[in-house]
């Protein structure tokens, strides 16, 4: 698969995952707090859709090449010893 196609497919899967997750959260909240009398059976399915959306997101990140953790993230910069610039400590 060409790099451009992989990026497009990865972005589409990540977008679909985000839509499925947000839709699942929205339906779960509406089923619990609204007076629309939505079926509880679908509310349990909506909770499952959050996990399915997360899997779609991760699959898209893997295909699109975005699964690596970059050193620009705060946690990595401050707590990962490989990314700290400490002149007194030699790196491996």
pLDDT tens digits for range 49-71 = 999 999 999 899 888 887 665 55
pTM of model > 0.95? no
Considering only CA atoms, give the Rg of the chain: 20
Domain positions in the chain are 1-82
- Quick: pLDDT tens for 17-29: 999 999 999 988 8
Residue 85, Ramachandran bin (φ over 0: left; ψ between -120 and 50: alpha; else beta) = beta
- Torsion sign (Cα): 36, 39, 43, 48: negative
Type and span of the H or E element at 50? helix 40-64
């Amino acid at each position: 698969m060409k790099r451009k196609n992989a990026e497009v497919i990865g972005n589409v899967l990540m977008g679909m995952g985000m839509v499925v997750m947000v839709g699942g959260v929205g339906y779960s909240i509406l089923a619990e707090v609204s007076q629309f009398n939505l079926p509880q059976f679908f509310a349990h399915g909506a909770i499952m859709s959050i996990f399915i959306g997360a899997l779609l997101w991760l699959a898209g990140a893997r295909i699109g090449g975005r699964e690596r953790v970059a050193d620009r993230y705060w946690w990595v910069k401050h707590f990962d010893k490989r990314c700290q610039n400490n002149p007194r400590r030699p790196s491996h």
